[in-house]
Each structure stands twice: as C-alpha cells, then as structure tokens.
Amino acid sequence: MVVFLGLPLTVFVIFVASPFVQALYYSLTDWSGFSSGMNFVGLDNYVKLFNDDIFLKAVRNNVLLAIVVPIVTIVLSLTLATLVTIGGSGTGTVRGLKNAGFYRIISFFPYVIPAIVIGLIWAQVFTPTSGILDAVLNQIGLTGFKDFAWLGDARTAMPASMFVMIWGAVGFYMVLFIAAIRGIDPEVFEAARIDGAGRFRTATRITVPLIRDNVQTAYIYLGIAALDAFVYMQALNPGGGPQNSTLVMPQQLFTTAFSKGQFGYSTAMGVVLAAVTMLFALIVFTVNALTGGRDPRKAKVRR
C-alpha cells in the first residue's frame, strides 16, 4: 500500500504542494521576477493588496462572476437537458424530444472551441462599427443600438462578458446533466406522470433532487472557471474594460507581474485568488451537506 501510494504522493508534493509553498514565500518578498535578489517584506504585500482599489474592484468582479455565471449556466443547462430527456410527448412512454442527438451535438459544439477563440469571435460580434450584433439590431428597427459599444460601456461590458462565458459552457453541462438524468430509473418518471405531475413539477421535484450531487459538481467547476475567467476577459477586454468593469484578479495579477515587474506583489494576488477559490468550494460543499447532499436519508424526492 505504501509503495502504491508513494508515487502519487511524490508527484503531488513536487508539482502541487511545493510550488504552492514557494508561492507563499515569494508573496512575502519584493521579488521582481527577473533577478535572484529579493528582500523579505513580511505581510506588506497583503496590506497593500487590501488597500488597492483596483485589485478590490477585480475581487468584486470575480465574486459577481462566481455567483451569476454558475447559476445561469446550470439553470439553462438543466432546462435543455430536461427537454431533451423527458420533454417529449405528454402521453405514452416518457421520452425526450425527437432528434435529441442532433440537439446535443449542436449544444455541445461551442465547448469544443478554445475559450480564446470564442472570446475573439464574440469580441468581433460586439464591435460597434462592424459587429454583426449592432447590424442585426439596427435592421430590426432598434436604431438606438447603432454603433453601440457593448464592451466599451461600463453598463453592458460585464453582462456581455458573462453572456459569452455562459454561451461557451452551457453545452457541456447540458450533456453532463443528460447523462445524470438518464441514470434515474425511468419508472420514477412514469410514476410521476401517473400521479399527474407536469413537466415543470417533475423537473423541480424529482429530477433536480436526484441529481443534486451532479449540480454541486457543476457549480464548483463553473465557479472556479468564473474566478479565473482570464482567457475570456483578456480576449474581450484586455485592459479590464471601461472603469475596470470587467477586470478580474488573474488579469491584474498578469499585468502586475509582467508589465510592472512586481512578482512578489502579484504572487500575493495569486495566493488571495487561491484562498477565495478554496473558500468558494468549501461554501458549496457546506451548503450541500447542510441541505442533505450525499445523504440518501435526506435526498428524497419532494412531493
């Protein structure tokens, strides 16, 4: 057993634990990143961080993303997955829509495109003078959006960025939820139909409680992606958007390290980002446990 666990443990220590400890040390120095010399400054970098209005703005943006993006993505994915699996005819055997395989392929397609490509494509769609979105809106009579800068207006930059992130993730989580729903005994849905439960009630009272652990996993992964969001935001608004409305912690970390040469300070940002990510996962696990997740005695179908 010791030999069997030794190799994975060694790999973990070398490639995960050791770099993290090293990052903690660098965050307590004034390392420039381009020389071996550095001075120990203690917690000065962290004190500076929490008095840095730009970084605090990035933290708020990340928290907003971690709340909105997972919730909207999961609701849309669950809705589509439910339609595909049990949203067919209201009579006869419980089944999904016709040509469900086609819908799965179309919905999953955005996920196979690299995030940077998705970001660049949508950046062009949102372009004021030549973007297709403003052109379409203008053609249908919404002339108020002529040459409107979706990513250049502080009111719309973040919602537009959220839309792109959600668009890129819905397909994958739809497929994940389809697999989870197909793992439920079909007799459960048949019994619900006999009892007179409609599609909405079946989805909310039966489907969701029975796949809640899949929903929890999806929420954690989506939350981590939202707390990162570097690729999408860098493609859509490299400078952080108007009034830093789309600036996220990884963007500020990158700029501080490679543009300003303050690697010690930027490493402190990375430590804070890691702490926020772990706190997010802990909150999700705790809420799930308190509400009966992974407990067969509590995770009963609601009536």
Q: What is the CATH number of the domain that holds 94?
A: 1.10.3720.10
| pLDDT value for 110 | 83
In a domain, 217, yes or no: yes
| pLDDT value for 107 | 78
In a domain, 212, yes or no: yes
Tell me how far apart the alpha carbons of residues 219 and 172 are, in angstroms, rounded to a whole number: 13
User: Binning pLDDT at 50, 70 and 90, where does residue 290 land?
Assistant: confident
| Backbone angles phi and psi of 40, in degrees to 5 | -75, 125
What pTM was estimated for this model as a whole?
0.87
Which residue has better confidence, 163 or 109? 163
Q: What are 156-181's pLDDT values in tens digits? A: 999 999 999 999 999 999 999 998 99
Q: How many CB atoms lie within 10 A of CB 45?
A: 22
The pLDDT of residue 282 is above 60: yes
User: Binning pLDDT at 50, 70 and 90, where does residue 3 land?
Assistant: low
Q: Which DSSP string do the residues of the chain spell out, in sequence order?
A: -HHHHHHHHHHHIIIIIHHHHHHHHHTTB---SSSS---B-TTHHHHHHTT-HHHHHHHHHHHHHHHHHHHHHHHHHHHHHHHHHH-S-SSSS----TTHHHHHHHHHHHHHS-HHHHHHHHHHHT-TTT-HHHHHHHHTT-GGGTT--TTTSTTTHHHHHHHHHHHHHHHHHHHHHHHHHHTS-HHHHHHHHHTT--HHHHIIIIIHHHTHHHHHHHHHHHHHHHHH-HHHHHHH-TT--GGGTT--HHHHHHHHHHTT--HHHHHHHHHHHHHHHHHHHHHHHHHHHHTTTT-TTT-PPP-
| pLDDT value for 214 | 92
The pLDDT of residue 100 is above 90: no
In a domain, 138, yes or no: yes
The pLDDT of residue 297 is above 50: no
In a domain, 41, yes or no: no
| pLDDT value for 254 | 95
The pLDDT of residue 303 is above 60: no
Quick one: average pLDDT of 275-285? 92
Please tell me the total count of domains within the chain: 1
| pLDDT value for 94 | 58
In a domain, 6, yes or no: no
| pLDDT value for 296 | 45
Q: What are 189-214's pLDDT values in tens digits? A: 888 878 887 778 888 888 889 999 89
In a domain, 43, yes or no: no
Q: What percent of the chain has pLDDT over 90?
A: 54
Which residue has better confidence, 95 or 39? 39
Domain range holding 196?
Answer: 51-290
Which value, in Å, is the radius of gyration of the alpha carbons in the chain? 23
- On whether the CB atoms of residues 281 and 220 are closer than 8 A, the answer is yes
In a domain, 139, yes or no: yes
* From 37-51, 267-281, 286-300, the region with the lowest mean pLDDT: 286-300
Q: What are 9-51's pLDDT values in tens digits? A: 888 888 888 888 999 999 999 998 888 888 999 999 999 999 9
In a domain, 295, yes or no: no
